[in-house]
């Protein structure tokens, strides 16, 4: 089902590009990165359920420290630049470290992996990534709470609601549908330039709600983007970008992909703390992507797919996980 959803996303981007002479290469590359990361995560998670997420966490941390910009090109003025991608990569790294800790059996190894997760959070503070620090702390708190939950369905529903609220708030700000006091506070955090980009994206989405203006064409048609000194051609919001460039169908496909991911986590055979920790990290990533361009970086897309694959893999070795009644296969439910 996941491959069907990703295939539909790719097909629709090609259709909208053909209609409006757009450039779907960026969308196709992101989808390929997610699919490749997910496949690698499923394979590595089955063979090395502890070592694989630990290696992923260390790799993400190394990329963040060693390659600060995460991509070639000019460094855009903060917070529109690479800050969102840095926060997203640190979030995924912290989530992977927590997943490895929950999957580990030896107390000493689990403690070491917890220290790694805390170290990633501290690294975000040292690097000056406030959003990354807050996101990592949120993942750590959700991971601790996940250890006390026996039914993952409630946690998955909470993650879905959180992602919906983050997206809805972004849409409300773009449409000037929030109170003046809240709008002024958000503008101080997000900058007026970013909000102007959101206004342009919503205006373009309303102009052609069915097909959008075509992938990769936002920078050409946005007044705010064209007046920027270092434009990157993006509205810095994944749902608004899809709405502007691919219409309502593009937004629906994005929501379908996230819902499929949550469903795959709900049906996963991994222990509940591992599943909910990965889900929390991916939900935080969705919130970051709703107010930034994190998904435009290939490393982030690969990392998201990798973490999802690790959390839904079926380890060859018996983990003896803490089972729960609402996530087992249907044949088990029929057993008296």
321: in domain: no
Query: Pseudo-torsion of CA 128, 133, 136, 137, nearest 10°?
Result: 160
Q: Specify if 330 maps to a domain.
A: no
Q: Which of 27-36, 313-322, 324-333 has the lowest mean pLDDT?
A: 324-333
What's the pLDDT score for residue 78? 43
Mean confidence (pLDDT) of the chain: 87
Are 139 and 124 in contact, with CB atoms under 8 Å apart? no
Average pLDDT, integer, range 40-69: 91
> How wide is the angle at C-alpha 270 spanned by C-alphas 266 and 274, nearest 5°?
85
Please answer whether residues 133 and 124 qualify as being in contact, where contact means their C-beta atoms are separated by less than 8 angstroms. Answer: yes
Query: Is residue 62 pLDDT above 50, yes or no?
Result: yes
Cβ-proximal residues to 197 (8 Å cutoff; 6+ apart), any chain: 222, 224, 225, 234, 235, 236, 237
Rounding to the nearest 10 degrees, give the CA dihedral for residues 216, 33, 162, 12: 50
pLDDT for residue 283: 97
Over range 327-335, report the average pLDDT: 42
Dihedral sign of CA atoms 260, 266, 271, 275 in order: positive
254's CB contacts (< 8 A; 6+ apart) are 9, 238, 239, 242
Tens-place pLDDT, residues 188-219: 888 888 899 999 999 999 998 999 999 999 98
Task: Pick from 61-65, 274-278, 292-296 the range whose average pLDDT is largest.
Answer: 274-278
Q: Cα(231)–Cα(38) distance, rounded to whole angstroms?
A: 31
The structure tokens listed for 276 are 């909910």
pLDDT value for 122: 96
DSSP assignment letter at 211: T
Over residues 306-329, the mean pLDDT reads 68
Containing structural domain, residue 11: 2-316
Residue 323 lies in a domain: no
**What number is the average pLDDT over the span 58-63?**
93
Of 73-77, 91-95, 331-335, the range with the highest mean pLDDT is 91-95
Residue 138 has pLDDT above 90, yes or no: yes
Q: What is the pLDDT of residue 231?
A: 62
Residue 34 within any structural domain of the chain? yes
Q: The whole model's pTM is what?
A: 0.89
Residue 181 pLDDT > 50: yes
Mean pLDDT to the nearest integer, 272-298: 93
Q: Does residue 297 belong to any structural domain of this protein?
A: yes
- The confidence score (pLDDT) of residue 326 equals 46
pLDDT band at 331 (very low <50, low <70, confident <90, very high): very low
Query: Given this model, what pLDDT does residue 184 score?
Result: 83
Q: What is the pLDDT of residue 324?
A: 45
Query: Crossing angle, helix 238-266 and helix 272-290, to 10 degrees?
Result: 170
> What's the alpha-carbon Rg for the chain, to the nearest Å?
20
Domain count, the chain: 1
Nearest to 115 by CA among 97, 88, 135, 139: 97
- Structure letter (DSSP) for residue 32: H
Average pLDDT, integer, range 5-17: 94
pLDDT at residue 328, as a whole number: 44
Distance CA 80, CA 277 (A): 28
Q: How confident is the model at residue 229 (pLDDT cuts 50, 70, 90)?
A: low
Distances (CA, A) of 49 to 52, 54, 241: 6, 9, 36
d(CA 214, CA 319): 47
Element (H, E) at 205: helix 192-207
Residues 6+ apart with CB under 8 A from 215: 13, 16, 17, 22, 23, 24, 26, 27, 245, 246
DSSP string, 306-319: HHHHHHH---SS--
Residue 336 lies in a domain: no
Tokens of 38: 């997910």
pLDDT digits (tens, 9 = 90+) for 99-113: 999 999 999 999 999
- Cα distance between the two ends of the chain: 30
At 292, list the tokens: 């930034």
pLDDT confidence bin for 230, thresholds 50/70/90: low
% the chain with pLDDT above 70: 88
In a domain, 327, yes or no: no
Instruction: Decide if 324 is inside a domain.
Output: no
pLDDT of residue 85: 86
More confident residue, 65 or 241: 241
The per-residue pLDDT for 257 is: 95
Residue 39 exposed, middle or buried by CB count within 10 Å (0-12, 13-18, 19+) = middle
What's the average model confidence in pLDDT over 165-173?
A: 93
């Amino acid at each position: 089902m996941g491959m069907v959803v990703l295939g539909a996303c790719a097909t629709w981007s090609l259709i909208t590009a053909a209609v409006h002479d757009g450039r779907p290469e960026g969308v196709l590359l992101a989808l390929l990165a997610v699919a490749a990361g997910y496949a690698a995560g499923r394979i590595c998670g089955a063979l090395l359920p502890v070592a694989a997420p630990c290696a992923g966490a260390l790799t993400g941390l190394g990329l963040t420290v060693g390659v600060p910009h995460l991509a070639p090109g000019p460094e855009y003025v903060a917070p529109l630049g690479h800050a969102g991608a840095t926060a997203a990569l640190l979030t995924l790294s912290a989530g992977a470290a927590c997943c490895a800790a929950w999957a580990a059996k030896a107390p000493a190894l689990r403690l070491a992996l917890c220290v790694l997760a805390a170290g990633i959070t501290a690294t975000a503070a040292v690097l000056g990534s406030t959003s990354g620090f807050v996101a990592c702390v949120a993942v750590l708190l959700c991971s601790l709470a996940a250890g006390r939950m026996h039914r993952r369905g409630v946690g998955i529903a909470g993650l879905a609601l959180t992602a919906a609220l983050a997206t809805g708030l972004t849409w409300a700000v773009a449409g000037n549908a929030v109170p003046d006091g809240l709008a002024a506070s958000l503008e101080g955090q997000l900058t007026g330039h970013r909000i102007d980009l959101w206004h342009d994206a919503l205006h373009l989405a309303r102009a052609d709600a069915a097909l959008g203006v075509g992938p990769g064409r936002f920078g050409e048609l946005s007044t705010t983007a064209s007046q920027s000194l270092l434009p990157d051609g993006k509205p810095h919001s994944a749902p608004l970008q899809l709405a502007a460039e691919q219409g309502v169908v593009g937004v629906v496909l994005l929501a379908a992909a996230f819902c499929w991911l949550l469903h795959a986590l709900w049906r996963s055979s991994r222990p509940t703390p591992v599943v909910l920790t990965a889900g929390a990290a991916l939900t935080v990533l969705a919130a970051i992507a709703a107010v930034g361009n994190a998904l435009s970086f290939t490393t982030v897309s690969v990392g998201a797919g990798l973490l999802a694959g690790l959390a839904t893999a079926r380890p060859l070795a018996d983990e003896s996980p803490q089972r729960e009644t609402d996530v087992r296969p249907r044949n088990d439910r029929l057993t008296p």
